[in-house]
Structure 1
Amino acid sequence: MTAHPSPATTPSTPRSAPGLPTPLTGVVPPVCTPLTPDDEVDVASLERLVDHLVGAGVDALFVLGSSSEAAYLPDRHRETVLTTVVRHVGGQLPVLAGAIDMASLRVLDHVRTAADAGADGVVVTAPFYTRTHPAEIARHYRLVADRGQLPVFAYDLPVSVHSKLDADLVLELAADGVLAGLKDSSGDDGGLRRVVLGARARTDTPGFAVLTGSELTVDSALAMGADGVVPGLGNVDPHGYVRLFRYARDGDPERARAEQERLCALFGMTGVGDPLRMGASSSGLGAFKAALHLRGIIDCPRTAAPQVPLSAEETERVGKFLAAAGLL
C-alpha cells in the first residue's frame, strides 16, 4: 500500500491551470442546466445559454453549482453538462466545476472527472450529511487539494451543508496554497469582510480570489474589496452584472448602485412561487429557467425532480419582472 503524506500537516503546492487568472476576478455566472421534457440535459439549449453569457462579456463560468441544480442531477447528467460547456467554450473563458458531495473520496471522484473534461478549477463545499468538526473540514480541503489535479475554490454554503467556513481557517488554507479562492454564499457580510481584509493584510495569500455569491449586495462587496461575483440571476441578465462590475471597478459608485438596485428589483422574480405548495429552490430556479425560456434562450423551463414547476400564472409574473427590467 502506498503511503500518502498527511493532508492535515503537509502544505499543498499552489496550482495553476491554463486560462485561470490569479486572482480570478469579475462576473462568474453559475450556469443553469436546461432539461428536456423527459429530464435529459438539453445540450442545444445549454450551448445557447453559454453563448448568451459569453456574449455578455462575463469573465468565467461555473457549472454544477446550486443554480445548475447539481444536487438534483445524476452523475451522467453532471458529466454531460461539464463536457458540453468546456467543449463549447473552447478555451475562451475559464470554466470552474462544482465538485460537491458528502465527503472527500466522493469529491475526489468529481475532481478527476472535471480534470479529465478540461475544467480550470473546482468549487468544493465543506463535507456534509455527517456532523463535521472544523479539523475535518480543514483535512477535507487539504486532501482534495493534495490528491486532486485542479485549483480548489472553497464554497461557503451553510444553508445547505450546515457548517460555516471560519474566516481564519479559509485564510490559513489560502496561505498554505490549498485554496485558490472562496465563493461566499453564507449571507454573512461580516465574515466576508474578515476574509477580504485578512487576505489584503497578509503577504502569503497571493492570487487568492474572494467572490460573493449574493446577487443583491454586489456593489457593497466590491467596495469592501471582493474580487468578483457568482450571481445566479446572471443567467437571466449577465449584461447587468457585467455593467455593475465595471462601474464598481472604474470607481463609479453611483452608477454601480443604480445598476444594483435595478437587479434587486429583477431578483423579485425568485419569489413568484406559492410557498404553500413549493420550496424556495423550486421558486427561484423555476423563475430563472422561466425567464430564460421567455427570453428564447432555452427551449424548456423544466426543473429537476422533485422540484415543483411554476404555474402559468407564476410564469406570467416572471415575464412582468423581465418587462420591467427592459429584458422583453
Structure 2
Amino acid sequence: MLNIKDLKGVIPPIVTPVDAEENVDEQGLKNVIDYVLEGGVHGVFVLGSNGEFYAFDFENQKKAVEITVKHVNGRVPVYAGASAITTKECIKLAKMAEEVGADALTVLTPMFIQPNEEEMYHHFEAIAKATNLPVLLYNNPGKTTNNISVALLEKLAKIENIVGIKNTSLDFAQTIEYIRVTKDNPNFKVLSGSDYFIYATLAYGGVGCVAGTANVAPRLVADIYEKYMAGDYVAAMEAQYRLVPLRNTYNYGSFPVVMKDCLNLIGVNVGHPVKPIDHCSEEKLEALKKVLSELGLIK
C-alpha cells in the first residue's frame, strides 16, 4: 500500500495495448511498463484516460491491473484507475484493485451526468470508505464536464484515505488554490495533471505529476522532477521547455491516440487505439516523427 511519502515524482498514465479483439494485450502492456520504468518514473498509473479505461469491461480492467501489479513487482507504486459514472461501479473497481494488489486508487469525477457538490462529496466519500487503499482524486473538467471546486477539495482532503489530487486542467490558478488550502495537511498532496505545468506545480509546493507525455519521454519528464528536487532549477526549467512541443501534439489526433502513435513510432509497439478512435493521419504522423526526432527519441 502507498505510503504518503512515496506519493511524488513522475507517474505516467500508461497506455493500454490491445489485441485484434480490443482486449488487453499482456505482452504489449509489459513492454510499456518496462519502457517507462527504464526511463526513471516514480510510479505507474494503469487505466487512466490515456489508458483508455472507458473502453474496457470489468474483466479487461481487472486483467490490466493484475498484469501491471505483477510486472511492476513493487519497484514503484501502482495506481489503479477506479473511474466510472456511478458510485456503485467505482466501488466495485476499487475493491477489485485492492484485491489484486494495487498500491493506491485514482478516481475521476463522474462523467456524462453532473452531480452537485454534495452529491460529488458523497460519491468520493463512499468510494474512500469502501477501500483501505489511499485515493488520489482526479480532476479533469475538460473531459468529464465536472470540476472539483477548491471548497469541495478542502472537505474531501479531510477524509482519511483521500491523500491527493491531480489537476488535469489548464486553469493553473486552481492548482495553486488546491495547494494553498491543503498545504498544512501533511497527508495530502497535489500533482500536476497538465504537462505544461510540471515545473510550476513543483515551484508552488506540489509533489509531482501524472503526465501522459511520460509514456513517450519518461526520461525527459523525470528530469524536470529530479533536477528540480536537486535544486538545479535552470536545468529543470530547460527540461520543461523541451517537453512542451511533445505536449503540443495532443491535438494531432483524437484523444488519446497520440501517445500510442508516438510509442509505435519510437519502436515500443502498442498497436491500435480502441475504436471509434483511429490513428493520426499520415501528415500528422510525419509531424510527430519530427518532434520525436528533435527529442532524440527516434533516429
Q: Provide the secondary structure at the position in 1 that maps to 2:79.
A: strand
**Aligned equivalent of 1:77:** 60
CA 1:78–1:287 in 2, change beyond 3 Å: closer, same or farther?
A: same
User: Does structure 2 conserve the Cα–Cα contact (< 8 Å) formed by 1:247 and 1:255?
Assistant: yes
**Aligned equivalent of 2:278:** 308
Q: Which amino acid aligns with 1:309?
A: H
CA 1:269–1:127 in 2, change beyond 3 Å: closer, same or farther?
A: closer
For 1:43 and 1:131, the matched residues in 2 are separated by 35
Does residue 34 (structure 1) correspond to residue 4 (structure 2)? The answer is no
Q: Please list, as runs of the form range in 1=range in 2, the aligned pairs for 1:87-126 lying within 5 A after superposition.
A: 87-126=70-109
Q: Please list, as runs of the form range in 1=range in 2, the aligned pairs for 1:136-285 lying within 5 A after superposition.
A: 136-200=119-183, 202=184, 205-273=185-253, 280-281=254-255, 285=256
> Which one is further off, 173-182 or 212-221?
173-182
Q: Provide the secondary structure at the position in 2 that maps to 1:269.
A: helix
- The structure that has the greater radius of gyration is 1
Q: Which amino acid aligns with 1:293?
A: N
Deviant stretches of 4+, over 6 Å: none
CA 1:176–1:112 in 2, change beyond 3 Å: closer, same or farther?
A: closer
User: Does structure 2 conserve the Cα–Cα contact (< 8 Å) formed by 1:56 and 1:238?
Assistant: yes
1:42 Cα deviation after fit: 1.8
Q: Which amino acid aligns with 2:39?
A: A
CA 1:139–1:55 in 2, change beyond 3 Å: closer, same or farther?
A: same
User: Does structure 2 conserve the Cα–Cα contact (< 8 Å) formed by 1:235 and 1:288?
Assistant: yes
**CA RMSD, aligned part only?**
1.6
**Aligned equivalent of 1:322:** 292
For 1:48 and 1:75, the matched residues in 2 are separated by 22
User: Does structure 2 conserve the Cα–Cα contact (< 8 Å) formed by 1:164 and 1:186?
Assistant: no
User: Does structure 1 conserve the Cα–Cα contact (< 8 Å) formed by 2:125 and 2:159?
Assistant: no
Percent of counterpart pairs with the same letter? 28
1:161 Cα deviation after fit: 2.2
1:299 Cα deviation after fit: 4.7
User: Does structure 1 conserve the Cα–Cα contact (< 8 Å) formed by 2:132 and 2:161?
Assistant: no
Q: Provide the secondary structure at the position in 2 that maps to 1:101.
A: coil
**Aligned equivalent of 1:11:** none
TM-score, reference length from structure 1? 0.86
Specify every segment of 5 or more residues in structure 2 that has no aligned partner in the other structure, as ranges: none
Q: Provide the secondary structure at the position in 2 that maps to 1:153.
A: strand
User: Does structure 1 conserve the Cα–Cα contact (< 8 Å) formed by 2:208 and 2:225?
Assistant: yes
TM-score, reference length from structure 2? 0.94
1:74 Cα deviation after fit: 2.2
Does residue 288 (structure 1) correspond to residue 269 (structure 2)? The answer is no
Specify every segment of 5 or more residues in structure 1 that has no aligned partner in the other structure, as ranges: 1-16, 274-279
Q: Provide the secondary structure at the position in 2 that maps to 1:297.
A: coil
1:216 Cα deviation after fit: 1.2
1:126 Cα deviation after fit: 2.4
